[in-house]
Chains A and B, each alone.
Chain A
Amino acid sequence: MSIIRNIYSWLSPMYGNELYEYLKGNDCDGVFIGPDHFLTIGLIMIGISLLVFIAYYYLINHPRYNRWYHWGTFLFLTGIFNLFIGFGYTYSKLNGGNIPACFTYSQIEATDDGSIFGVDGTEILFNSNCWQFGLANAIIAIAFFIIFTFAFKWWSRNCKHSPLF
C-alpha cells in the first residue's frame, strides 16, 4: 500500500516533512517501525469518498439533483469530511504526546538514561500543521471523488451526465 503513502508524500511540503515522517511510521532515524498512519487515514479517506460518490450517484440518484453544482456540493462534502478527519487524527496524535520529540522539536536533549526530550521554545509541529494535513487529506479525497465519478458514474440512471458529458 505504498501508493497511499506516495500520494500523501506529494503534498508533504504543505504540512511538513516531520509530520510526514511520523505518519509514514518512521522512527527518529528514518527507519520504518510502524504503524503506517497513512494507510489508516488513506483507507478512511478513500472509503468516505466512495460512500459519498455512491450516495450521490446510486442512492439519491434523483433527476432533480443532476446539475453540476449538485455534484459540486457532494464534492465539497467529501473535502470537508476528510479535512476534519485528517485534522482530528493528527491533532489527537500531536496533543496526546504520541509523536516523538525528534519530530516535534528542532532541538532535542537527552536525560541521563539517554531518553530524549524537546527543548521548550523549539517546537516545530503545531495545530496549524494538523489543519494543513487535513487540507491535504481533503485535496486527495476530492481527487479520488473525481476519479470515482468518471470511472463509475455511467451506470447511474439519473445522474450519469453530472457534472459533465
Chain B
Amino acid sequence: MKKVILALFAFVIVLFLTSCENDRKKKNDTNSPPDEVEITPSKPTVNVYVENSVSMFGYISSGNEFDRSISSLLTSIKVSGYTDSINLFYINSRTFRQNVDISTFIRRTNIHNAQTWPGDKSKTDMCALFDTVASAVNDSTISIFVSDCIFSPGKNEDAGNYIGAQKDKITTTINKKLNSQNLAFIVYRLKSEFKGDYFDCKDDPTPINDKRPYFIWIIGTAKNIGTFKQKIPTSKIEGNLQNSFTISKNKGEITYAIQLHPKIGDFKRTDSKTIINAKKDNDSEKFMFSIAVDFSSLLVDPSYLIDSGNYDPGNTKYSLEIIAKPMEKYTHLIKVTTTSRIISPTKLTIKLKNKIPDWIYTYSDSTCTNIKNNGMMERTYGLSHIVKGIYKAFNYQQETLSKIEISINQ
C-alpha cells in the first residue's frame, strides 16, 4: 500500500510540473508588416515655382543662403535620380517658365533680373498660388514652391478677416484636390539674409537687413512624396534649414517590440508586447524599459517623431524619451520610464498625436506686429493660417497617427 501511495505521490509531482504554465501564451507574436510607402516605378517630373513678388526681393542677392538652399535642393533632386525632368518657373499672379538649367536659374535669381520680371508683383494671393502649384500635381508630377508665405491683404482690407478667409479658401481649394488625389505636403522653414523692404499686412515697407525665414513647399501624391523623403533627406538641403512638417493621410500601422535593453530595474518579456515581473531599480527608484519602433511607414518628419510632446503616454505615471536609432527593422527607440512607487498592472497605450507642430505657432504672427519688435524677425505673418488651412483640408477623423500598446504586469 505504501508503495502505491509513494508512486502516486511521485506522479502527482509530475502532473503538477506539466500543468503549471509559467509562461503566458503569446498574444500576438507576429507583427503585422508595415504599410510601406510604395516606390513609384516611373520618375516624376518636378516643377519648381519660385515666388517673385516684391516681398521676395530682399532674399534675392547672389550667393546668399537662399540661393545655396535652392541650388542644393535642386541639385540633390537631379543627382539622386528622383527625376529626369525639372521645369523651372517664377510665379506671381502668373507663372513664367524658364527654359534654362539649374545654375542659370539660380544665377538669374537676383535683384536686377527680379525687377524686370513680368506679372503683378505688388501683392500675394497665397490661396491662388497654392491653387496653381497644387493643380500641376498628378501621379507623374510634383511641385516645389518657394515663397516667404506672407499674406498681403492690401491697405484697404481688414487683415484679420482677410487671413481668416484665405485660410478657409485654402482649405476648400486643397480639399477639392484631395477628393481626386491622395496628396501630401512637406513644408521646410529656412532662413536667409534679407536685405530690402519688408512689407507688412498693410503693405507698408520697412527696410531691414537681417535674417528672415522663407519656406519651401513640396507638394505631390503621397507615393511621390514618400519617395522624395527617402531620396532627398533634409540633410541634403544646404543653407539654413530650420524646421519641417509633413501633412498627409497617414496609415497608422507600425511595427514595434519591447527590447531587453536599455532598461532600469528588471522585467521579463513574455512576448514582444507584454512585460511581467516588472521591478524598480532599488538605487534609482526607477523602472524603465525600451520599445523599438518602425515609423518608416509614416510620412512624418524626423523632428516631429523625436519630440516627446507629440506623444501621449496614456498614463500620467509614465514618461517617454524618443531616440532616432535605426536598428535592423526599426527606426526609433522609445524609453518608457516610471518613478511610481508601485508598478501596478496596466495596459499602456502610447499614442503618436496627429497635430500641427508647435514651431508653426511659435514662428507665426497673426496680429500684424511691427517687424522691428522683439522676436518678430523670426515670424511670418499668417503662417499658421496657411498650415491650418491645408491641415483642415485633410479632414482628419482621428487625433492619433499610430498607437503602441504594451501590457505591464497584467
Give the interface of A toward B (CB within 8 A): 2-3, 5-7, 9-10, 12, 17-18, 21, 28-32, 102-103, 105-110, 114-116, 124, 147, 149-151, 154, 165
Decide: A110 and B30 in contact? CB cutoff 8 A.
no
Instruction: List CB contacts (< 8 Å) of B20-51 with chain A.
Output: 20-23, 26, 29-31
Contacts of A149 on B, CB cut-off 8 Å?
A: 10
Give the interface of B toward A (CB within 8 A): 2-3, 6-7, 9-11, 13-14, 17-18, 20-23, 26, 29-31, 257-262, 266, 268-272, 292, 325-329
Decide: A114 and B22 in contact? CB cutoff 8 A.
no
From B18, B20, B257, B261, give the contact of A107 (CB < 8 A). Answer: B261
From A6, A9, A106, give the contact of B262 (CB < 8 A). Answer: A106
> What CA separation (Å) do A29 and B18 show in the bound complex?
27
Decide: A32 and B26 in contact? CB cutoff 8 A.
yes
Contacts of A21 on B, CB cut-off 8 Å?
A: 260, 269
- B233: min CB distance to chain A, Å: 14
Decide: B268 and A107 in contact? CB cutoff 8 A.
no
When C-beta atoms are compared, the residue in chain A nearest to B4 turns out to be A154
- A20: min CB distance to chain B, Å: 8
- A22: min CB distance to chain B, Å: 10
Decide: A114 and B261 in contact? CB cutoff 8 A.
no
- A83: min CB distance to chain B, Å: 21
Decide: B17 and A7 in contact? CB cutoff 8 A.
yes
- A145: min CB distance to chain B, Å: 12
Decide: A6 and B23 in contact? CB cutoff 8 A.
yes
**Given A17-B260, A107-B261, A150-B10: A114 in contact with B17 (beta carbons within 8 A):** no
Contacts of A30 on B, CB cut-off 8 Å?
A: 257-258, 269-272
> What CA separation (Å) do A28 and B26 show in the bound complex?
15
Decide: B30 and A28 in contact? CB cutoff 8 A.
no
Decide: B271 and A6 in contact? CB cutoff 8 A.
no
Is the contact region of chain B dominated by helix, strand, or loop, or is it mixed?
Answer: mixed
Decide: A17 and B268 in contact? CB cutoff 8 A.
yes
Decide: B327 and A116 in contact? CB cutoff 8 A.
yes
**3 tightest CB-CB pairs across the interface, nearest first?**
A29-B257, A151-B10, A150-B10
When C-beta atoms are compared, the residue in chain B nearest to A112 turns out to be B326
User: Of residues B258, B269, B325, B329, which shows the largest number of chain A Cβ atoms within 10 Å of its Cβ?
Assistant: B269
Known A-B contacts: A18-B260, A114-B326, A151-B14. Give 10 more (CB < 8 A): A5-B23, A6-B20, A28-B257, A29-B272, A30-B272, A102-B261, A108-B327, A114-B328, A149-B10, A150-B7
When C-beta atoms are compared, the residue in chain B nearest to A24 turns out to be B23
> What CA separation (Å) do A99 and B246 show in the bound complex?
40
Contacts of A9 on B, CB cut-off 8 Å?
A: 22-23
- A43: min CB distance to chain B, Å: 15
Contacts of B271 on A, CB cut-off 8 Å?
A: 30-31
From B18, B259, B325, B326, give the contact of A3 (CB < 8 A). Answer: B18
**Given A116-B327, A147-B14: A10 in contact with B22 (beta carbons within 8 A):** yes
Contacts of B2 on A, CB cut-off 8 Å?
A: 165
> What CA separation (Å) do A30 and B258 show in the bound complex?
7
Contacts of A29 on B, CB cut-off 8 Å?
A: 31, 257-259, 272, 292
> What CA separation (Å) do A96 and B6 show in the bound complex?
45
A-B pairs with beta carbons under 8 Å apart, 23 shown: A3-B18, A6-B21, A7-B17, A17-B260, A18-B260, A21-B260, A28-B257, A28-B260, A29-B31, A29-B292, A31-B30, A31-B257, A31-B271, A32-B26, A107-B262, A114-B326, A147-B10, A150-B6, A150-B9, A151-B7, A151-B10, A154-B7, A165-B3
From A6, A12, A108, A151, give the contact of B261 (CB < 8 A). Answer: A108
Contacts of A108 on B, CB cut-off 8 Å?
A: 261, 327
**Given A150-B6, A151-B7, A151-B14: A116 in contact with B269 (beta carbons within 8 A):** no
Contacts of A105 on B, CB cut-off 8 Å?
A: 261
> What CA separation (Å) do A109 and B30 show in the bound complex?
24
> What CA separation (Å) do A29 and B406 show in the bound complex?
13
> What CA separation (Å) do A124 and B260 show in the bound complex?
11
